[in-house]
């Protein structure tokens, strides 16, 4: 890589490192070495490591919530709830797990996790309401679906594709009946 990296390049590398090695690896010097550039490139885009961390959390929200929601909104002809459950439960979610681990020791990360949890829950509830589920039931089902997702994120258990599909089908049936 060259010294002409954008802030986005740094953030993408930061998300990758966060998912692979955790939040303690989000430091300018090791990131710069991994990208083959000087630390000056990092400091060109971010005033300090705190600003980088804040930008990482913002980028995580974009990737883990806003882009997912935009993709569901753009999907035509497919059941958005089925698409969401399939995507959420078929991926290992290493980045999600890493950010949640970070949130256990950092107030700003905790605030970001709480905000994304609220955004996702609101969107799940909206999806259920759109499918004709009453407000009270939609809120309860959204919470149950979200807890299922979080359990998946924190679990080290892997399921075969066939068993994953059974779980997805059952969650979909519970959510939309």
Whether the pLDDT of residue 100 is over 90: the answer is: yes
CA-wise closest residue to 148 among 130, 164, 128, 137: 164
Angle made by CA atoms 73, 79, 83, in degrees to the nearest 5? 75
Classify residue 74: in a domain, yes or no: yes
Cβ–Cβ under 8 Å, residues 10 and 52:
yes
pLDDT of residue 159: 86
Round the average pLDDT of the chain to a whole number and report it: 93
The two tokens of residue 18 are 């966060």
Classify residue 64: in a domain, yes or no: yes
CA-wise closest residue to 172 among 83, 99, 110: 83
How far apart CA 81 and CA 23 sit, in angstroms, is 31
Whether the pLDDT of residue 3 is over 50: the answer is: no
CATH of the domain at 28: 1.10.357.10
The count of domains in the chain is 1
Domain holding 29, by residue range, is 7-176
Classify residue 1: in a domain, yes or no: no
Cβ–Cβ under 8 Å, residues 13 and 35:
yes
pLDDT of residue 50: 96
Classify residue 106: in a domain, yes or no: yes
Whether the pLDDT of residue 148 is over 90: the answer is: yes
CA-wise closest residue to 12 among 51, 62, 49: 62
Classify residue 15: in a domain, yes or no: yes
Give the CB-side neighbour count of residue 105, counting CA atoms within 13 A. Answer: 7
Classify residue 2: in a domain, yes or no: no
Classify residue 33: in a domain, yes or no: yes
């Amino acid at each position: 890589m060259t010294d002409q990296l954008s802030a986005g390049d740094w953030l993408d590398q930061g998300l990758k490192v966060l998912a692979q090695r955790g939040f303690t690896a989000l430091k300018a010097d090791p990131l710069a070495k991994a990208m083959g550039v000087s630390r000056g490139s990092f400091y060109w885009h971010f005033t300090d490591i705190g600003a980088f961390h804040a930008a990482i959390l913002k980028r995580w929200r974009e990737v883990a919530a806003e882009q997912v929601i935009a993709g569901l909104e753009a999907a035509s002809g497919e059941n958005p709830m089925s698409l969401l459950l399939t995507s959420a439960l078929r991926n290992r979610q290493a980045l999600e797990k890493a950010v949640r681990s970070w949130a256990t020791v950092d107030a700003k990360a905790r605030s970001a996790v709480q905000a994304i949890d609220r955004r996702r829950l609101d969107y799940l509830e909206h999806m259920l309401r759109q499918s004709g589920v009453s407000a009270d039931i939609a809120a309860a089902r959204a919470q149950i679906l979200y807890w299922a997702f979080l359990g998946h994120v924190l679990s080290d258990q892997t399921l075969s594709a066939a068993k994953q599909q059974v779980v997805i089908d059952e969650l979909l049936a519970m959510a939309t009946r």
